[in-house]
Chain A
Amino acid sequence: MIDLDLVRHAVAAAGQAGADAADAIQLCSDSVEARVRGDEIDYVKQARERALGLRAFVRGARGLSTALVSTSDLSHAAIERLAADAVALARATAQDPDAGLPSDGFAEAWPELALLDPQDRELPLETRLEHAREAERAARAVDPRIVNSEGTSVGSSFDSIAVASSAGFEGCYEGAHHSLVSSPVAAENGAMQTDWWMTVARRHCELEDPESVGRRAAERALAQLGARRVPTQRVPVIFEAPAARSVLGNLVACLTGGAVYRKTSFLAGRLGERIGSDAVHVIDDGRRPGGLGSRPFDAEGQATRRTVAVERGELRSYLLDCYSARKLGLRSTGNAARGTGSAPAAAPTNLWLEPGRESLEQLLRDTGRGLLVTGLFGQGFNPVTGDFSRGARGFWIENGERAFPVEEITVAGNLADLLRDVDRVASDLLWLGSLGAPSFRVAQLTVAGSA
């Protein structure tokens, strides 16, 4: 269990070295991770990690200058050397009128967020390995064409985070992550396909059953066998929930404070404007019980909260840390995130697209002819303009049904147009980690393939 001694010591050491303000974060993590292929263990990895990050500010005539240091050597002597380094570094950088710690908005009392089940610390490694083997067996049991796998990985980590700030905040909390990911390989006529399915939760009892994960992963890989390209054309495109999450990830990059104040987001300067159809409703909530992105306070000690980012197509709020908020003349939304080796920057906590009422199958039936995208890959997205062009796989839809699998195609367009053209949102909200999305349909997109 973590305590506040080291972060307090680091903040005090910074003060003694000449800093005018400082905050520190300590992360402690104990983790185990393993991968099984078939019945055999690939690897087991056990780790104990401890690191401390310190941010120091030195006051000048035109504002504060900033330095950031971190270490995995946590001896008091190392921390004192580091604090002195930080102050020397800060003196070498420029004064910035917007730099500095928050002076209010700190979390005072925090609710129980169900981030950890103490019993999970007692889970034997052998049990986790057996879960991985179960998923592998379940995948192979689906069909004889499941001939191989990239393995099933299981992992658990128990993390504690402590934050202290010379502005008066201090706090610590614990959380856990458990996961199981299965990636079977299907083969037919010399061609192979793989896909994955995963489950991740704060408490082990909330994980999806390993057998179900293995089976779903196998079904997804099998369904892709025999995939081909389709001709280049413009058609309605349905993003199945896992692919919808990926599109939402692109949108998130445009909602965060850093991209907005640098104007490297196409959403910069558009607060209060309509940016999507009525069906687009995006929420961030740092206090969702059991949420993978939940935390009682952010990396700057600000209280986490629920922020409606997009309400029925209207841009209501960005996701902000203190610095980006000051740059924009707004207030922090409690979205500062940082590792020990990085400066606080705005990032989503638990963010999702609100689901609609109808099923994915209903969307397919109503669409008649088009493309169902089940997976996206590649980084073809430009947040400055919103232009995207990404590799895709999925199914061709004919007569409202999955006619045949497709691959080696791209979907391309502009995210602003896509958000405007979202005309149907399904009810199948899928949470994988801290980002959740239901399937949705876009009226028209360019699909590039053969010819």
Chain B
Amino acid sequence: MTTSTPVLFFRERFGLDESSLARTLGIALDGPADAADLFFEYSTRDAVLLEEGIVKSGDRHLSQGVGVRVLAGEKQGYAHSDEIDAESLRVAATTARAIAAGRGSARSIAVRGPAAPSRDLYPVGAAPTEVPVADKVRLLEQIDRYARSRDPRVRDVLASVVCQSRHLLLAASDGSFVADAQPLVRLNVQVIAESPSGRREVARQGGGGRFELGRVLTPAYWQPIVDEAVRLALLNLEAVPCPAGAMDVVLGPGWPGVLLHEAVGHGLEGDFVRKGTSAFAGRLGQRVAAPGVTVVDDGTLPGRRGSLNVDDEGTPTQRTTLIEDGILVGFLQDRLNARLLGVTPTGNGRRESYAHLPMPRMTNTFMLAGSDDPADIVRSVSRGLYAVNFSGGQVDITNGKFVFAASEAYRIEDGRITAPVKGATLIGNGPDVLTRVSRIGFDLALDRGEGTCGKDGQSVPVGVGLPTIRLDGITVGGTER
């Protein structure tokens, strides 16, 4: 491949070529600055939303802009603009330089010919945003009818399909020049159920990834998601109050991997590590999890929501082992923190858009499978909680405390799964929680492509995964003794 399509996209639309990029980088980079980079983005997002049985709205949003960054020591100067033309580029580069490094004279930069990412993790024929809106409307109408047909207690269905096509082009003062086109689709289904006695409950399910919308349009894809949302809403109608206090907890496979994301993942991001504000800082080589626990972050899984050909600094993504057999072995790095820590970037420099500075972020984070039979793991608990779905979590990086809320959980009594419980929250300490892993199942699963991670006000799509595991003595925040 010589010139990739995404590069041509920016050349044709905005006249961006090697010489204009080199000129802007030259303005940005002066004497004391270490590096400069340019990030161009053109992104289209559309959404179709159904509720109360009708498609109430169609949305289409166009966002374009450029961010210019200048790095000097630990300092970053950043200027962005939603106009992409010679004058805006000059102003942004001058501003970024002035705020990062004071004044100096322009240096000459050579930008090498464009590189296409060396692989394509998400080849699509038609961009999801180019699929006719009528197809999306039909999908949502089918979902609504199907969900209502499953059970008379289904009162309302909220469904949406969101498609995104993000084109980006990066050029940096080290000469690197790369472009990518990133498709993203997501289906959201929310079911509201009401019991004959008037009790109401809601359940949400979703799925998606970096692939063609055609896949989502097939019943084989969306029906299991709708089935699951209906099942959960009905289950919640029967749920009883959750027990409170410390107990053994079994986490089911897949989405409960959000535990890894919150409890350890954020604390292993290079910015917190470099600044010494993470509870994991300085613990490389130490035991942070039980033997047998191996956790990786992998941005190279084809078609996954958290995957990227290159990160938002142009570094190819990779598989990074964070914890190996219980020992902390790796951190997640962007370029700035890698340089300051004297290590190699891991392809985890991500940003929400051109309006944001990149920082170390996770991609797809999961624990590798063990050898235990999941059924045996549940049988091993005499009194505890079996948690299989979560609505979200949060962590305090510095003291390591995390919390996450279960949306599907059951009591375990004498090794048997019994009553569904509502409102279960798990709370614990990141550097401690994985030392409590006593059993690891052979059933590793990744989530269905519905994760979004927030950090410093920036949202990025991520993935998680987990086999069934048992955690000994975790605090469960319920209401009952």
Residue of B nearest to A90 (CB): B58
Q: Nearest chain A CB to B121's CB is how many angstroms away?
A: 27
Q: Verify A409–B427 contact, CB threshold 8 A.
A: yes
Q: Verify B57–A343 contact, CB threshold 8 A.
A: yes
Q: How far is the CA of A449 from the CA of B428 in the complex (A)?
A: 10
Write out, one digit per residue, whether chain A residues 376-415 have a CB within 8 A of any chain B CB (1) or not (0): 0111101011011111010000000000000111111100
Q: Verify A40–B74 contact, CB threshold 8 A.
A: yes
Q: How far is the CA of A253 from the CA of B75 in the complex (A)?
A: 39
Flag whether A271 is at the interface (Cβ < 8 A): no
Once A44-B100, A70-B62, A262-B158 are accepted as A-B contacts, the answer to whether A378 and B394 lie under 8 Å apart by CB is yes
Q: Verify B76–A43 contact, CB threshold 8 A.
A: yes
Interface size in chain A (residues, C-beta < 8 A): 78
Q: How far is the CA of A446 from the CA of B244 in the complex (A)?
A: 8
Flag whether B279 is at the interface (Cβ < 8 A): yes
Q: Nearest chain A CB to B216's CB is how many angstroms away?
A: 18
Give chain B interface residues in 350-394, CB to chain A under 8 Å.
Answer: 355, 357, 391-394
Residue among A43, A66, A407 with max Cβ neighbours from chain B (10 Å): A43
Write out, one digit per residue, whether chain B residues 49-67 have a CB within 8 A of any chain A CB (1) or not (0): 0010011111111111100
Flag whether B242 is at the interface (Cβ < 8 A): yes
Q: Nearest chain B CB to A449's CB is how many angstroms away?
A: 6
Q: Verify A229–B475 contact, CB threshold 8 A.
A: yes
Q: How far is the CA of A282 from the CA of B155 in the complex (A)?
A: 31
* Complex A-B: 7 CB contacts under 8 Å: A66-B58, A194-B277, A262-B192, A264-B202, A389-B425, A389-B477, A391-B425
Q: Which residues of A contact B321 (CB under 8 A)?
A: none
Once A46-B78, A384-B201, A391-B477 are accepted as A-B contacts, the answer to whether A93 and B398 lie under 8 Å apart by CB is no
Q: Verify A185–B244 contact, CB threshold 8 A.
A: no
Once A69-B61, A96-B54, A264-B202 are accepted as A-B contacts, the answer to whether A391 and B478 lie under 8 Å apart by CB is no
CB within 8 A of A68: which of B58, B83, B479? Answer: B58
Flag whether A143 is at the interface (Cβ < 8 A): no
Flag whether B396 is at the interface (Cβ < 8 A): yes
Q: Verify A450–B475 contact, CB threshold 8 A.
A: yes
* Interface segment out of the listed B107-115, B219-227, B399-407, B443-451: B399-407
Q: Verify A67–B477 contact, CB threshold 8 A.
A: no
Q: How far is the CA of A413 from the CA of B398 in the complex (A)?
A: 28
Q: Verify A448–B244 contact, CB threshold 8 A.
A: yes
Q: Verify A262–B476 contact, CB threshold 8 A.
A: no
Q: Verify B477–A380 contact, CB threshold 8 A.
A: yes
Residue of A nearest to B45 (CB): A341
Q: Verify B201–A385 contact, CB threshold 8 A.
A: yes
Q: How far is the CA of A409 from the CA of B475 in the complex (A)?
A: 8
Q: Nearest chain B CB to A222's CB is how many angstroms away?
A: 13
Q: Verify B82–A72 contact, CB threshold 8 A.
A: yes
Q: How far is the CA of A81 from the CA of B211 in the complex (A)?
A: 27
Ranked nearest first, the 10 interchain pairs of A and B with the lowest CB-CB distance are A410-B477, A391-B403, A378-B403, A94-B54, A448-B244, A380-B405, A89-B58, A389-B425, A232-B245, A43-B76
Flag whether B172 is at the interface (Cβ < 8 A): no
Q: How far is the CA of A382 from the CA of B202 in the complex (A)?
A: 9
Q: Verify B392–A412 contact, CB threshold 8 A.
A: no
Q: How far is the CA of A450 from the CA of B245 in the complex (A)?
A: 6
Flag whether B200 is at the interface (Cβ < 8 A): yes
Flag whether A50 is at the interface (Cβ < 8 A): yes
Give chain A interface residues in 100-122, CB to chain B under 8 Å.
Answer: none
Once A194-B277, A229-B475, A379-B392 are accepted as A-B contacts, the answer to whether A408 and B428 lie under 8 Å apart by CB is yes
Flag whether A148 is at the interface (Cβ < 8 A): yes
**Given A44-B75, A70-B61, 12 further pairs, Cβ under 8 A:** A41-B75, A43-B78, A44-B76, A47-B80, A49-B355, A90-B58, A194-B396, A264-B200, A341-B63, A382-B423, A389-B425, A391-B401
Q: Verify A148–B275 contact, CB threshold 8 A.
A: yes
Q: Verify A93–B357 contact, CB threshold 8 A.
A: no
Once A40-B74, A73-B62 are accepted as A-B contacts, the answer to whether A379 and B405 lie under 8 Å apart by CB is yes
Q: How far is the CA of A418 from the CA of B374 in the complex (A)?
A: 39
Once A191-B399, A192-B277, A262-B158 are accepted as A-B contacts, the answer to whether A68 and B57 lie under 8 Å apart by CB is yes
Q: Which residues of B contact A229 (CB under 8 A)?
A: 475
Q: Verify B479–A148 contact, CB threshold 8 A.
A: no
Q: How far is the CA of A90 from the CA of B134 in the complex (A)?
A: 11
Q: Verify A449–B59 contact, CB threshold 8 A.
A: no
Q: Verify B405–A448 contact, CB threshold 8 A.
A: no
Q: Which residues of B contact A93 (CB under 8 A)?
A: 48, 54-58, 137
Q: How far is the CA of A46 from the CA of B59 in the complex (A)?
A: 29
Q: Nearest chain A CB to B161's CB is how many angstroms away?
A: 13
CB within 8 A of A92: which of B134, B158, B279, B478? Answer: B134
Q: Verify A384–B76 contact, CB threshold 8 A.
A: no
Q: Verify A49–B82 contact, CB threshold 8 A.
A: yes
Q: Verify B81–A48 contact, CB threshold 8 A.
A: yes
Q: Which residues of B contact A450 (CB under 8 A)?
A: 245-246, 475
Flag whether A1 is at the interface (Cβ < 8 A): no
Flag whether A42 is at the interface (Cβ < 8 A): yes
Q: Which residues of B contact A45 (CB under 8 A)?
A: 77-80, 357
Tell me what chain B mostly uses at the interface: helix, strand, loop, or mixed: strand
Residue of A nearest to B91 (CB): A48
Flag whether B95 is at the interface (Cβ < 8 A): yes
Give chain B interface residues in 405-439, CB to chain A under 8 Å.
Answer: 405, 422-425, 427-429
Flag whether A71 is at the interface (Cβ < 8 A): yes
Give chain A interface residues in 153-206, CB to chain B under 8 Å.
Answer: 185, 191-194
Flag whether A255 is at the interface (Cβ < 8 A): no
Residue of B nearest to A41 (CB): B75
Q: How far is the CA of A37 from the CA of B76 in the complex (A)?
A: 13
Once A194-B398, A448-B478 are accepted as A-B contacts, the answer to whether A389 and B242 lie under 8 Å apart by CB is yes
Write out, one digit per residue, whether chain B residues 439-481 have a CB within 8 A of any chain A CB (1) or not (0): 0000000000000000000000000000000000001111111
Flag whether B31 is at the interface (Cβ < 8 A): no
Flag whether B276 is at the interface (Cβ < 8 A): yes
Q: Verify A66–B428 contact, CB threshold 8 A.
A: no
Q: Verify A391–B394 contact, CB threshold 8 A.
A: yes
Q: Which residues of B contact A262 (CB under 8 A)?
A: 51, 156, 158, 192
Q: Which residues of A contact B64 (CB under 8 A)?
A: 72-73
Q: Nearest chain B CB to A414's CB is how many angstroms away?
A: 8
Q: Which residues of B contact A343 (CB under 8 A)?
A: 57, 59
Flag whether A85 is at the interface (Cβ < 8 A): yes
Flag whether A86 is at the interface (Cβ < 8 A): yes
Q: Verify B355–A47 contact, CB threshold 8 A.
A: yes
Residue among A42, A46, A70, A393 with max Cβ neighbours from chain B (10 Å): A46
Q: Verify B429–A408 contact, CB threshold 8 A.
A: yes
Write out, one digit per residue, whether chain A residues 5-38 have a CB within 8 A of any chain B CB (1) or not (0): 0000000000000000000000000000000010
Q: Which residues of A contact B54 (CB under 8 A)?
A: 93-96
Residue of A nearest to B88 (CB): A48
Q: How far is the CA of A413 from the CA of B422 in the complex (A)?
A: 11
Flag whether B133 is at the interface (Cβ < 8 A): yes
Q: Verify B275–A37 contact, CB threshold 8 A.
A: yes
Residue of B nearest to A377 (CB): B394
Q: Verify A451–B246 contact, CB threshold 8 A.
A: yes
CB within 8 A of A47: which of B79, B200, B424, B477? Answer: B79
Q: Nearest chain A CB to B392's CB is how many angstroms away?
A: 5
Q: Which residues of B contact A71 (CB under 8 A)?
A: 61-63
Q: How far is the CA of A148 from the CA of B282 in the complex (A)?
A: 15
Q: Which residues of A contact B199 (CB under 8 A)?
A: 385
Q: Which residues of A contact B81 (CB under 8 A)?
A: 47-48
Q: Which residues of A contact B155 (CB under 8 A)?
A: 263
Residue among B200, B275, B355, B398 with max Cβ neighbours from chain A (10 Å): B398
Flag whether A51 is at the interface (Cβ < 8 A): yes
CB within 8 A of A451: which of B100, B192, B245? Answer: B245
Q: How far is the CA of A447 from the CA of B425 in the complex (A)?
A: 12
CB within 8 A of B401: which of A72, A232, A408, A451? Answer: A408
Q: How far is the CA of A48 from the CA of B76 in the complex (A)?
A: 18
Q: Which residues of B contact A224 (CB under 8 A)?
A: 399
Q: Verify A449–B475 contact, CB threshold 8 A.
A: yes
Q: Verify A379–B99 contact, CB threshold 8 A.
A: no
Q: Nearest chain B CB to A396's CB is how many angstroms away?
A: 16
Q: How far is the CA of A365 from the CA of B391 in the complex (A)?
A: 38
Q: Verify B137–A448 contact, CB threshold 8 A.
A: no
